[in-house]
Amino acid sequence: MKKRLVVIGAGMASGRVLEHLLDHDPQGWDVTLFNAEPRGNYNRIMLSPVLSGEKTYEEIVTHDDAWYADRGVTCRFGESIVRIDRARRIVYSNEGGAPYDKLLIATGSAPFIIPVPGKDLPGVVTYRDLDDTNAMIAASANAGGKAVVIGGGLLGLEAAAGLKLRGMDVTVIHLMGHLMERQLDPAAGYLLQKDLEARGIAVHCKGATKAILGADRVEAVLLEDGTVYDADLVCMAVGIRPETRLATDAALEVARGVVVNDHMVTSDPDILAVGECVEHDSQLFGLVAPLYDQAKVVANGLLGQDAKFRPVQTATKLKVTGVDLFSAGDFADAEGREDIVFRDPARGVYKRLVIEQDRLIGAVMYGDTGDGSWFFGLIKDGTDITDMRDTLIFGPAYQGGTGADPLAAVAALPLDAEICGCNGICKGTIVTAIEGGATTLADIKAQTKASASCGTCTGLVEQVLASTLGDAFQMPAAQPMCGCTDLTHEDVRRLIKARELKSMPAVMQELGWKTSCGCHVCRPALNFYLLADWPEDYTDDAQSRFVNERNHANIQKDGTYSVVPRMWGGMTNPRELRAIADAADKYDIPAVKVTGGQRIDLLGVQKEDLPAIWSDLNAAGLVSGHAYSKGLRTVKTCVGTDFCRFGTQDSTGLGIKLEKRLWGSWTPHKVKLAVSGCPRNCAEATCKDVGIICVDSGYEIGVGGAAGMDLKEVERLAKVATEQDAIDMTVAFVQLYREHAKYLDRPYKWLAKVGLDWVQAQIVDDAENRAALIERFDLSQTIYQRDPWAERATPQAHQAFGPLADLTKEAAE
């Protein structure tokens, strides 16, 4: 007598089980196949080509009616299972029962729906089966429709690409910092985003969906950051979870999925489970390769053969035509692991191999994945790669050869290529000078003016010298930014601007960073360069900032912090002083000190008290003094004409105006200003980054002073007649410094490199450029002039400053 097998769910895994089972034992089983969808097995992986129109449904059917009929499979499609009666071994659907000897649960997974308002509006779809696909195809019929895909993982990106091919305007919203973060590292995610954007798909990373808006049907998607995207169709593809309801109701052991042993048997020996609904060894499965392995184990088990499921490494490829990416194995950083990274920015190629104990354990590739399966083979086989290590990254076809000539790029430049932007000097002019006898950088500067101004092209000029003179030129050892790159700060700044690099992964990829995510030296510098050059495009990264700027307070040697409210131009009043005194009492502040910048420092505040003390001070109208930042610190003033019998101008008023204009701006290093009302200079303006001395006939503006490690008197930038001119010159100077200086160079150090002449030419002599600098500064301020205290007044922020957990009350065992 035939044994009765009932299968719940006609997916890819159960389809494969039936193939194995009925091929090997065509007479042994009486199979009943239930499927809630009114159709049989089809290749779900190929839904993407169906969506994009590259294939039809008929082409992706794996088992047609004839296949089931030939094998005597009873198909009950369109019936939902309501109950499993384990005691009597009967499965009940909404239309009747079916007895079993063995039951196979293959219920797959359900799409995860983010619980936001509007999730049930018509026009919101998931991407799981043919009906979803058809709904999306129908929605894309209106030309020029707008689609928002929530989720930048495999499925979401395939949906986005398909909808784009169908002619929709597509935006992808992704919660994490880069696309496909489970399969790709940030560098590869960046390249993927760039490719998708080049195809016209907009990508919004770090975007949390707050609500789906619409009256009768979906109209738009609102993000937590306030961004709104119009939408005629919203596809949620944020993930899946195992469909375990039947198993749970039947009291089988269920964790995240239906728990199975190595034989794919559940806690009931007559019930097996396979596919995306199972959990094996605490692991869930979503890719097809392990599901097929499971199917084989299930079939073998039913055939009475011993077989055990052992999950193997899986590789990922994105099925978007023309996007070439591959990832396999484990590519997390860990002790004892080494990276081999290869980047070819010009071709958009990134390859990273992760090696542990002379074996390849992970690989991520983008742009050129031809060797993917070879690397995957090495990972699966655990091949010892010691002998091929030097050339491993080049793949199996590596034929030997020498490393790329670092000067090749410069040597290949045409003679009319511009080298020095400040002075408009092209390569030909420099080469002519070299042929005329110039042999050093100083010669070139003197004869052509190249690199004689802002100096960021110095490296290029040296490379022209090297490639023209050959061995006769001794390349000076440039100081690289850090161990992650051979480029200098100046090179990196120049390239960020020239190549419009607008994110940290973009910089690291395009400039060939040697580490996967930088270090404590380069990350803060890059964060500043990016936010200074691309205020509208770049998102400030708190985790790439030093502790003081992340916590908006100055860390002290004992781990406590100091809190300094801003006192505009050094002015205060009884109300502010009372609020400060109250805060000092309330939070038990151990020390209160007057600073050199004319304000009051509360020292010794505990980190978890910071948001509360800020909130109290905010309530009295006080804002952060940024006493911790690489940014505007203070504008020190004297009392000026208001009270002083020697004062020539309203120095206090000018100081306050400057502070109100400049506060909140980030700069390469700290910036301190002062305004003195007369040449007696009570505000000590002659040793500040910008110091203004008021005189009867106007304002003398000095720049590049210092009274720290070095003592330096300011140099005269200009003398101007009006207060407005003084403000304009100051703002333009600060912006020029923001745009050109090396991170952690105070203005005086930067000035020594570029020269006062150049700065004057930019700001004083060129009114148009001055206005442009001011405009760029003001644009940046619209984004960055925010009081960090007020921004951290939320309960979430309060929580983030406290401990994650407090176990001091727990007893030891």
Partner 1 sequence: MNWLDIGALNDIPQRGARVVKTVHGCVAVFRTGDDQVFAIDDRCPHKGGPLSEGIVHGHAVTCPLHNWVFSLETGMAQGADEGAVATYPARVEGGRILLDAAQLLKGRAA
The residue ranges that bind partner 1 (CB under 8 A) are 177, 185-186, 256, 282, 331-335, 515-520, 523-524, 542-547, 550-551, 555, 557-559, 800, 803-808, 810-813
Both tokens assigned to 241: 């979870």
Q: Which is nearer to partner 1, 55 or 550 (CB)?
A: 550
Q: Which is nearer to partner 1, 170 or 522 (CB)?
A: 522
- In the complex, minimum distance from the CB of residue 527 to partner 1, in angstroms, rounded to a whole number: 10
Q: Which is nearer to partner 1, 547 or 577 (CB)?
A: 547
Q: Which is nearer to partner 1, 305 or 357 (CB)?
A: 357
Residue 95 phi/psi, 5° resolution?
-115, 0
- In the complex, minimum distance from the CB of residue 327 to partner 1, in angstroms, rounded to a whole number: 13
- In the complex, minimum distance from the CB of residue 754 to partner 1, in angstroms, rounded to a whole number: 28
Sign of CA dihedral 477, 479, 480, 483: positive
Asked whether the beta carbons of 34 and 84 are under 8 A apart, the reply is no
- In the complex, minimum distance from the CB of residue 812 to partner 1, in angstroms, rounded to a whole number: 4
- Strands (DSSP E) found in 285-348: 315-317, 325-329, 337-344
Q: Which is nearer to partner 1, 339 or 725 (CB)?
A: 339
Give the residue ranges of DSSP H helices in 255-367. 288-302
Of 167, 146, 312, 353, nearest in space to 229 by CA: 146
Distance, CA of 719 to CA of 764 (rounded, Å): 10
Q: Which is nearer to partner 1, 120 or 806 (CB)?
A: 806
Of 350, 371, 393, 352, nearest in space to 192 by CA: 350
- In the complex, minimum distance from the CB of residue 543 to partner 1, in angstroms, rounded to a whole number: 4
Q: Which is nearer to partner 1, 250 or 522 (CB)?
A: 522
- In the complex, minimum distance from the CB of residue 723 to partner 1, in angstroms, rounded to a whole number: 41
Q: Which is nearer to partner 1, 255 or 498 (CB)?
A: 255
Distance, CA of 235 to CA of 704 (rounded, Å): 56
- In the complex, minimum distance from the CB of residue 807 to partner 1, in angstroms, rounded to a whole number: 5
- Strands (DSSP E) found in 247-292: 258-260, 271-273, 278-280
Asked whether the beta carbons of 72 and 28 are under 8 A apart, the reply is no
359's enclosing H/E stretch is strand 359-366
CA dihedral 345, 351, 357, 359 (to 10 degrees): -150
Asked whether the beta carbons of 495 and 501 are under 8 A apart, the reply is yes
Q: Which is nearer to partner 1, 251 or 542 (CB)?
A: 542
- In the complex, minimum distance from the CB of residue 341 to partner 1, in angstroms, rounded to a whole number: 12
Three-state SS string across 572-623, please?
Answer: CCHHHHHHHHHHHHHCCCCEEEECCCCCEEEEEECHHHHHHHHHHHHHCCCC
* Chain CA centroid to CA 781, Å: 23
- In the complex, minimum distance from the CB of residue 177 to partner 1, in angstroms, rounded to a whole number: 7
Both tokens assigned to 541: 């990264």
* Chain CA centroid to CA 266, Å: 41
- In the complex, minimum distance from the CB of residue 519 to partner 1, in angstroms, rounded to a whole number: 5
Q: Which is nearer to partner 1, 513 or 789 (CB)?
A: 513
Both tokens assigned to 83: 């109950």
